[in-house]
Amino acid sequence: MKEGLLRARESAARNDYGAVLTELVRLDPLFKQHIADEESTVLGFLIRQLGVKGAAAEIRVFQQHRPIYRLMKKATELASMSAAELQANQTELNDLFGLHTAVEEKDVFPRAKSISTSPDRR
């Protein structure tokens, strides 16, 4: 998904908004599957192991899926609008997605892994 967003950003920099639209449409089902997989497996696992209170930080991270997805839809719609509007929304999407994935990789996934491999779990 990161590579797809990068390709969309590069296309926008070339003013190739048809390619931006194509890339975002291609990313749409991937992102939907990403949300479903992470929420049903990783988040479900953390909630079962830690309870809702114990997994509160991770729940907040996964709640970011919705605004990222809404912003992807908005960027897709803006692909037919001005370059400035598309660039502003695409920059916001890239920033939000980048922050979200960084927190997942730094905090959420390592925590889930440490819980799943702890001696108490075996």
Q: What is the pLDDT of residues 54-100, one digit of tens each?
A: 999 999 998 988 888 787 777 667 656 666 776 777 778 788 888 88
What pLDDT score does 120 carry? 67
Of residues 15 and 82, the one with the higher pLDDT is 15
Tell me the pLDDT band of 31, cut-offs 50, 70 and 90: confident
Confidence check: pLDDT of 122 > 60: no
Structural domain includes residue 70: yes
Calculate ∠ Cα 111-106-73, nearest 5°.
110
Q: How many domains, in total, are found in the chain? A: 1
CA distances 118 to 39, 57, 71, 81, 111, Å, are 22, 20, 38, 52, 11
Longest pairwise C-alpha distance within the chain: 56
**pLDDT averaged over the chain?**
83
> How many angstroms from the chain centroid is the CA of residue 42?
14
Tell me the residue range of the domain where 107 lies. Answer: 2-116
What pLDDT score does 54 carry? 95
On whether the pTM is more than 0.75, the answer is: no
Tell me the pLDDT band of 101, cut-offs 50, 70 and 90: confident
Structural domain includes residue 121: no
Q: Token pair of 83, please?
A: 């370059």
